[in-house]
Structure 1
Amino acid sequence: MRVLGYAISLALAGVVTGCGGGGGGGGGGGFFPVVSSAPAPAPAPSPSAPPVADTTRPTVLAFVPAAGNDVPRTTEISATFSEGLRASTVTDSNVQISRSGAAVDGVLSYDATLHKVSFAPAQTLDLLATYTVTARTGLQDLAGNGLAAERSWSFRTADGVWETPRQLDAERTAVSGNPVTAQDSQGNIVVVWSSQASSGWYEIRSATRTESGAWGGFRTLSVPGNRNALLPQVGFDRQGGGLAIWSQFDGSGVEIWSSRFLKDGGWQTPVRLDSGLDVGDASLAVGADGNGFAVWAKQVAPYGNPDAWAARFTVEGGWQAPVRLGSSANSSFYDKVEQPQVAIDAAGNAYALWVQRTSDAPVWAARYELGTGWQPAVSLGATRLGDPFAPRLAISGSGQVMALWNSFVYAGGPYRFDLWWSTLGGTGGTWTTPALLETDDSGNALRQVLVADSTGSFHAVWQQYLSDYRSDLLYRRYTPGSGWSTATTVSTTNGTYWQNRMPSLVADRNGHLMLMWGAYQSGYGGDQEGTFARRYVSGEGWQATRRVGAAGASAAMFTSLAIRPNGTIAASWMEPSELRSDGPVSASVFR
């Protein structure tokens, strides 16, 4: 067992020895050894190139709308860029939409997929207004590169058109002071007029059109049973509130009444402001904040003459007690106050203007200062050449005040109505010496209207008689520092037996005007008669005349215009039948 074991051990030893041989070349029958070799080391990697910096600046690829005119007021406003932008740089300071240098209120948005910045205005764009869109260098791409240079483009919106007129009241309307129109900044429109009820008395009626464009039926504002209610006035603020005032007979005297309009509640119960033996010629002004003023003439004593009175309305407290504006110093037994007017400036101060027909100082004005009240009335220094009539008052955005009136001249022949004007330079200023606005002594200058625009200019239109049967409408513009322009005839249906009458005029904040009037051909009628309007475009002049009333309708006897901040215009008028002074009340909107 051992031998065997030894032999086996020896044999195994030989095998092991053979396996270990071959290193010296002996014995060719042995096993080759397995030799393992280490892999060659990999070459050292080359250093990677630094990333290329993004220095390409974004550019504007497209504007919407394209620069040009007649752009729809509901157009998209956007700019598309060459690459994505940092959303944090899309701000009001880097993207601005302006009109006449003032920023337009609205909301910016950014579409990262389309690389597009859009602007949604808070209100519909103005009629016939130039807008400028500016993209500034603060706009950055995702790498922080800003626009290389500021980019701007401009476009002008389209003008409006007159809608088909709507008849508000088919019954006969009173001769005086009808109708009057007002609207707020949201597009709600109110028309107020006097109309003869079935009882035979005249009452104050009103119709309202909502911002959706729907007219409601008329309703009665005046107090029933109090005899005739006449001479309505109406005004609205920018929030949708309004006021109306009117004169109403009570059997023994005359009263001044008022009703307040609430946007969500309509007309409220009327309140009486004042009463007297003879109260009338009321005028109303409502400020943008809803506060307002009313002025009127009132006779207190049986044998006295009316003096000027006023009341202030505040949104918080309603109507305050009336106060007398004139005094014994400027109102004697024969100094009858007539036709007072009132207007409010941008700060909320008010000015009242009136005439005293037989006074040696026939034109007077008073100022209401916030926090102080009414200041003493002052004479405008007008020389009494005759009886003054129809004072008009306008205040520019800069605070300059202008007064305009006509005066019946007895001296110098022939007898005629001349047109006079004066201005007040603002708080603490004095009235300029009154001067003639028209110098045509061959005929009367009547029914003047006066407005101020946003540039500080004043615009006057009046009815100039060339004969007993013919009258044209004349226009002049007053520019501060330059004075009045040459008179221009703006009525376009002129000739023998044509009377262009009863003008109304409004100005928008872009310097454009709208004039409305009735064109009447005495004894003829015909298709050329009717109610017309004509547009004045700032920088371009007067445009073509457009018919506003229905074809075949008679010429307007009374017209009224009211304008929104965006230039939309509401109009109302009364169309009398031939040889009559009453007729239906109609309305239309220019938008």
Structure 2
Amino acid sequence: MPLQRILLFLRRSGLLALTVLGLVACGGGSDLFATSHTLSVTVNGSGRVTSPAGGLDCANSCSVQVADNAVVTLTAVPATGFALQAWGGACSGSAATCTLTIGAARSVTATFVSSSPAPRFTLGGTLSGLAAGARVVLRNNGSDDLTLAANGSFQFSQSVAQGASYSVGIATQPSGQTCSVANGSGTMQAAVSNVTVTCTSSSGGWQPPANLSALGASPPHVAMDDQGNGLAVWGQFDSPTTSTNSLWTSRYDGATGSWSAPVLLESLAGNAGYAAGEAHLAMHRATGRAVFTWLHTVNGTVNVWARDFDPSSGWGTATNLEAVDGMTGTPSAGVDASGNAMVAWTQMTPRWSIWASRFVRGTGWSAPQLLETHDTVGGLDIDPALAMSDNGQAVVAWKAALHNDAINGLWTVRFTPASGWGTAERRVASPAGGPLRSRPAVAADGQGRAVLAWGQIDVDASGIWHTAQMMRFDGSAWTATPAVVGVRQAVRNNVANPVLAMSPGGGAALVWVLAETGALQASLAPAGGSFGAVITLNASLPAGEVTSLPAVALNDAGAVMVGWRQGNTAGAGVYAQRSTNGTAWSLDTLASDLTDTDKTWSFHAGLGLNASGQALAGWNVVATSGTSTGTAVRARRFVATP
């Protein structure tokens, strides 16, 4: 008798329920009539999914009925030139086969992708205007260099994969000329031959000042890349009648020699911090990628914010890095060759401690991470300084105080992309009654080597002495003991907050101010070598007070530049000392129209020097617009000549 007639008979006779109950009691289960299940397969890309035993051969979307509890093996069969990327649904992984026990309806996806490498295309263009005997070095994507010594067509030796980006800039300008690049960036879809490089004769020295801002502006932070482009960031009051302020920025175009109109960088409620210790602009010179970090205050809560910059796409999204109610301070930033960045800061939660966040291009900022575990009630971990290398390694240095003799001193911790943050270690101790140390300075070169520097007060039987001191990290370990830079200074002539810089190749420059005499001093060191003789940079100026943190920059060609503001009885000015070899120095007056009331000027980060010796400097000065008077931002470019 057919199954349907048997079921109809059982239902009409009232025996169906009893039959089902009896089967359940005997282990028949509730899925009595489910003799098969649906197996659905979806194929993405070029390929097939087969299962000979199940009668399946699927190239798009298909389904089959499979007996209950049957074991089915699915096989991914990619088309020529393709490979299985991954299974999905009831299957996982990327093995060629997937075995399932079909106890219910199942869905499976298989995704195939091309196994052939992306096609690559040539990148080139035309050079014009290059003087006879001169050379210009082009650079694509921060690493592929091409040296040209003649006008005409050119082509980079390294091709670029389809879909990848390219960005051509000037790595080294020719002597006495300035070259600019047009059509230099984009996404590679076919061979590119329209990159245009134009060179023109340049007048050397400091160019005329440019006015960047409206009235009510703070001192600018300035940086310059190896292509001759730059950034300036400053704070500005929202209106003449308000105490709130916002951050503004302007971009310098090295090809045209001009600054852009000011652009609002953030318009958050409250106040943005922009002074030394409250903000930091860091730039990777070869690529021009940068990050700006600042403190922002709203209703008594101070947070650390940051915003990344890419020359091809502009400024990224402003991000609050810690979003904790309370107090934060002294953010410090760095950028590597890939455009990844790091910011470190001190934060009271509930004690003052050291935190950091990492930015990865395409991903964003990480959650904040505590870098030390000093848990002393009332202890202070403050004044972090961060430096980052081309390869993504970073070092943070800071000062620990009001803990105990086992903790007080200067500390460092390192970050590597492969291992993350290491363990914090004390570099030098500051026991009770022992040496007193200033906030540290730290700098790194392109290979992961670093220098740590600070000002120190020592007391011995002969008196109280002040020195600048330093330690080196050679890529694997720190030197065991500090080295004194220069000579010891007598009481009150303390070395306050030295400023440090390193070139990509490892050269270093240390600059400091002697508090009592007002002498601005510097010492230089070759890669891996000792710091040399101390140079007093403002010896030829009338006696006066250095009223800013000095700024220092240097490059691998041996050029070094230091900028500062100094007041005296005749007024105040902005000055720069520059040298092409670290031996012969030239003093330049960038501005002499400041007065002693222009105390808001600061060179905290207002100087940028690139690989070819070009530089940007920024400051602010009291200015008048109509009937109003206030502070405005000015900037000048330095053009290097033979």
**TM-score (norm. length: structure 2):** 0.62
Structure 2 residue aligned with 1:485, among 518, 532, 546? 532
Q: For the structure 1 residues 412 and 252, does the alpha-carbon distance in structure 2 shift closer, same or farther, using more than 3 Å as the test?
A: farther
CA drift at 1:351: 0.7
Contact 1:173 1:585 (C-alpha < 8 Å) held by counterparts: yes
Q: For the structure 1 residues 249 and 415, does the alpha-carbon distance in structure 2 shift closer, same or farther, using more than 3 Å as the test?
A: farther
- Name the one with the larger strand percent: 2
Amino acid at match of 2:440: P
CA drift at 1:536: 1.4
Q: Which residue of 2 aligns with 1:448?
A: 498
Structure 1 or 2, whichever has the larger Rg, is 1
Contact 2:229 2:253 (C-alpha < 8 Å) held by counterparts: yes
Aligned pair 1:287/2:287, yes or no?
A: no
Q: How does 1:192-591 map to 2 (within 5 A)?
A: 192-198=233-239, 199-211=242-254, 212-230=256-274, 231-237=278-284, 238-276=286-324, 277-301=326-350, 305-328=351-374, 331-359=375-403, 360=405, 361-384=408-431, 385-407=434-456, 418-427=467-476, 429-437=477-485, 438-442=487-491, 443-453=493-503, 456-465=506-515, 467=516, 470-479=517-526, 483-499=530-546, 501-521=548-568, 524-526=569-571, 529-538=572-581, 541-549=583-591, 551=593, 557-559=601-603, 560-575=606-621, 583-591=631-639
Instruction: Tell me the distance in 2 between the aligned counterparts of 1:109 and 1:161.
Output: 26
Contact 2:381 2:399 (C-alpha < 8 Å) held by counterparts: yes
Contact 2:499 2:512 (C-alpha < 8 Å) held by counterparts: yes
Structure 1 residue aligned with 2:131, among 63, 67, 76? 76
What is the CA deviation profile of residues 325-384 of structure 1, one whole-angstrom value per residue up to 9, with x for unaligned ones?
A: 0113xx422331111111112322111111113343310101001121000111103344
Q: Which residue of 2 aligns with 1:186?
A: 227
Contact 1:254 1:278 (C-alpha < 8 Å) held by counterparts: yes
Which moves more between the two structures, 338-347 or 288-297? 338-347
Q: For the structure 1 residues 103 and 417, does the alpha-carbon distance in structure 2 shift closer, same or farther, using more than 3 Å as the test?
A: same
Amino acid at match of 1:525: A
Aligned pair 1:168/2:215, yes or no?
A: no
Amino acid at match of 1:368: F
Q: How does 1:95-174 map to 2 (within 5 A)?
A: 105-107=146-148, 123=170, 125-126=172-173, 160-173=204-217
Instruction: Tell me the distance in 2 between the aligned counterparts of 1:77 and 1:323.
Output: 55
Amino acid at match of 1:297: T
Q: For the structure 1 residues 197 and 418, does the alpha-carbon distance in structure 2 shift closer, same or farther, using more than 3 Å as the test?
A: farther
Amino acid at match of 1:290: G
Instruction: Tell me the distance in 2 between the aligned counterparts of 1:168 and 1:97.
Output: 30
Instruction: Tell me the distance in 1 between the aligned counterparts of 2:622 and 2:169.
Output: 42
CA drift at 1:323: 0.7
Contact 2:271 2:297 (C-alpha < 8 Å) held by counterparts: yes
Instruction: Tell me the distance in 2 between the aligned counterparts of 1:334 and 1:481.
Output: 39
Which moves more between the two structures, 391-400 or 411-420? 411-420
Which moves more between the two structures, 310-319 or 495-504? 495-504
CA drift at 1:487: 1.7
Instruction: Tell me the distance in 1 between the aligned counterparts of 2:151 and 2:288.
Output: 33
Amino acid at match of 2:579: Y
Contact 1:404 1:420 (C-alpha < 8 Å) held by counterparts: yes
CA drift at 1:537: 1.8
Q: For the structure 1 residues 263 and 298, does the alpha-carbon distance in structure 2 shift closer, same or farther, using more than 3 Å as the test?
A: same
Contact 1:508 1:563 (C-alpha < 8 Å) held by counterparts: yes
CA drift at 1:445: 1.3
Unaligned runs of 5+ in 1: 1-72, 80-94, 112-116, 130-156
Instruction: Tell me the distance in 2 between the aligned counterparts of 1:352 and 1:118.
Output: 43
CA drift at 1:513: 0.4
Amino acid at match of 1:545: L
SS of residue in 2 equivalent to 1:390: coil
What is the CA deviation profile of residues 135-176 of structure 1, one whole-angstrom value per residue up to 9, with x for unaligned ones?
A: xxxxxxxxxxxxxxxxxxxxxx999411111222353445xx
Which moves more between the two structures, 370-379 or 334-343? 334-343
Amino acid at match of 1:247: L
What is the CA deviation profile of residues 547-576 of structure 1, one whole-angstrom value per residue up to 9, with x for unaligned ones?
A: 112556667831121223332211112346
Amino acid at match of 1:225: A
CA drift at 1:297: 0.6
Contact 1:106 1:122 (C-alpha < 8 Å) held by counterparts: no
Q: Which residue of 1 aligns with 2:34?
A: none
Q: For the structure 1 residues 292 and 225, does the alpha-carbon distance in structure 2 shift closer, same or farther, using more than 3 Å as the test?
A: same
Instruction: Tell me the distance in 2 between the aligned counterparts of 1:485 and 1:74.
Output: 41
Instruction: Tell me the distance in 2 between the aligned counterparts of 1:122 and 1:217.
Output: 23
Amino acid at match of 2:424: A
The percent of aligned pairs where both chains have the same amino acid is 20
CA drift at 1:393: 0.7
Contact 2:562 2:578 (C-alpha < 8 Å) held by counterparts: yes
**TM-score (norm. length: structure 1):** 0.67
Instruction: Tell me the distance in 1 between the aligned counterparts of 2:151 and 2:622.
Output: 57
Unaligned runs of 5+ in 2: 1-127, 157-167, 177-200, 624-629
Contact 1:127 1:567 (C-alpha < 8 Å) held by counterparts: no
SS of residue in 2 equivalent to 1:439: strand
Contact 2:225 2:610 (C-alpha < 8 Å) held by counterparts: yes
Contact 2:594 2:622 (C-alpha < 8 Å) held by counterparts: no
SS of residue in 2 equivalent to 1:205: strand
Amino acid at match of 1:309: W
SS of residue in 2 equivalent to 1:123: strand
Q: Which residue of 2 aligns with 1:132?
A: none
Contact 2:441 2:453 (C-alpha < 8 Å) held by counterparts: yes
Instruction: Tell me the distance in 1 between the aligned counterparts of 2:520 and 2:271.
Output: 37
CA drift at 1:291: 0.8
Instruction: Tell me the distance in 2 between the aligned counterparts of 1:407 and 1:531.
Output: 28
CA drift at 1:399: 3.7
